[in-house]
Amino acid sequence: MTGAGTVVAAMATPAWEGTRERVVDVFRRRDVQRAAVMDAQLRADAELVQGAGDDMEGVRDDLVRPWSRRLAALLRDHPEAAGDLRALVDEAAAARRTERSGARQVTA
């Protein structure tokens, strides 16, 4: 999964707050003002996903492209952020796997 896909997939899940904080931190280390804008955007996008009801996946799909552009711009301006983004993707993916396995254990 891409960085953008990982970020968007985490929206409206128990792993969301941790993922959002990590994304904002990656931006903050490079540009404090941009981090504040990205935090507001992440919160607004997560609200869209949470309010989407039956179209949650459709809304997530719509949000991947803009987040791909935002993360690509970050990497263009700050190539050293690549390692931080890779770590974020790995951690978010692990959290989602744990979340899914926990859900299976509860329902089993």
The predicted pLDDT at position 108 comes to: 45
- At 12-54, the pLDDT tens digits run 888 899 999 999 999 999 999 999 999 999 999 999 999 999 9
Q: What is the pLDDT of residue 95?
A: 80
pTM for this prediction: 0.86
Q: Is 89 left (phi over 0), alpha (psi -120 to 50) or beta?
A: alpha
Q: Are 43 and 80 in contact (CB under 8 A)?
A: no
Q: Which of 76, 72, 77 is nearest to 7 (CA)?
A: 72
Of the two residues 104 and 10, the one the predictor is more confident about is 10
Taking residues 57-80, report their average pLDDT.
96
